[in-house]
Structure 1
């Protein structure tokens, strides 16, 4: 492989890294919770990408073209997993919202009993009532949990390995850049280049998400992150399944 060919491969690897997809969005979601979580997720995605690259170089990924049913099956698993992740993000938001309403209802009744102003729009409209001083989330309401590194890594690995489009991408990308009789060093250089591009981009994305996430960690910020990310994940998963 000449220097010009390698630079062309580096460019193709960067295109793969920056192309928006489920992994990009999930990196942003975990990165908004903390830089470390974003990096752990990125590391898992990188491992999955390397696995797809190795499968392609060993010829296993050809099965995805030879047997379309296998590709469809993996796609359905991957799309379903994204829907699961989206629903898992949305359900806690719903539970926390209900818990806040139930907790604020007695507070509203206490204000009325004490002669304070009654809710202006009915007994169910309690959104204007203040939370406890110094506590952005009222006491007793469950707060968004922090996922363990192992859980985040597992999520990244599964989401990456269940994306057959990655294998097909490598099937089209790698062979043209390999010499006629590639040795282990040639193959390793290509895989390492792709892995480095994915990992560096993911780390940078996590750093940006972490800084942005600091503005979304108070009050209803975590719920907003989970609500938006959960909805988009469900839509992405359904799109992958239906298309």
Structure 2
């Protein structure tokens, strides 16, 4: 298997996984509607930086050490689960707060919104050890004989990031066109409740899978 064939085969695998709606999709859609397109792209950037970090970790063997250490894996899994549950619960609780007007926040996003979007995408990605385990399980299968595992691992992670950026970027642009019609208090509240529920569900699944 040549390097080109390895990259293409990996692209087919992660391409199918990328288009399946999940946590990343929920984050960028909610962020774009409630905070605007810059926030959505900032969250997307954070997600992809997290992906590159996990790819580099898998390529250097750090992800393998994490998977081999039951204590470290449990700690990171529970920390990630707690963060997702807290984030989701906070998002839902805010929608029931009296006097809160999420549509006003969407119309006038804060100056630090892009930074918070980036951090949200980054933290939700790097606190999910399943991403590292996925890379650890798949990357060795796509490293051609005689090639540097580190170099190929980084290239494979870059392929994943590229596909994710194209897909989620298209979702952000499409959502942004519909956003003016969706930026009402009622719609945003229900979107926050749904997204918060998704975050809590992912957090609960992450915690239960550790057992």
Q: Fold conserved (TM > 0.5)?
A: yes
1:213 equivalent in alignment to 2:171: no
Match of 1:55 among 31, 50, 57: 57
Q: How does 1:148-159 map to 2 (within 5 A)?
A: 148-159=113-124
Unaligned runs of 5+ in 1: 101-136
Is this contact kept in 2: 1:32–1:210, CA < 8 A?
yes
Unaligned runs of 5+ in 2: none
Q: Which has the higher helix share?
A: 2
Report the Cα distance in structure 2 between the residues aligned to 1:59 and 1:91, rounded to whole angstroms: 40
1:176 equivalent in alignment to 2:141: yes
Q: CA RMSD in A?
A: 2.3
Q: TM-score, normalised to structure 2's length?
A: 0.84
CA shift digits 1:191-219 (9 cap, x unpaired): 32122112111211212332343322124
Report the Cα distance in structure 2 between the residues aligned to 1:82 and 1:198, rounded to whole angstroms: 21
Q: How many residues align?
A: 202
Report the Cα distance in structure 2 between the residues aligned to 1:15 and 1:68, rounded to whole angstroms: 30
Report the Cα distance in structure 2 between the residues aligned to 1:234 and 1:159, rounded to whole angstroms: 12
Q: TM-score, normalised to structure 1's length?
A: 0.74
Q: Hey, which bits of structure 1, 4+ residues long, moved more than 6 A? A: none
Report the Cα distance in structure 1 between the residues aligned to 2:33 and 2:117, rounded to whole angstroms: 13
How much does 1:155 deviate? 0.9
* Most deviating of 151-160 and 19-28: 19-28
- Of the two, which has the highest radius of gyration? 1
How much does 1:99 deviate? 3.3
Q: 1:181 to 1:236 in 2, by over 3 A?
A: same
Match of 2:95 among 73, 86, 93: 93
Is this contact kept in 2: 1:82–1:233, CA < 8 A?
yes
1:241 equivalent in alignment to 2:200: no
Is this contact kept in 1: 2:29–2:40, CA < 8 A?
yes
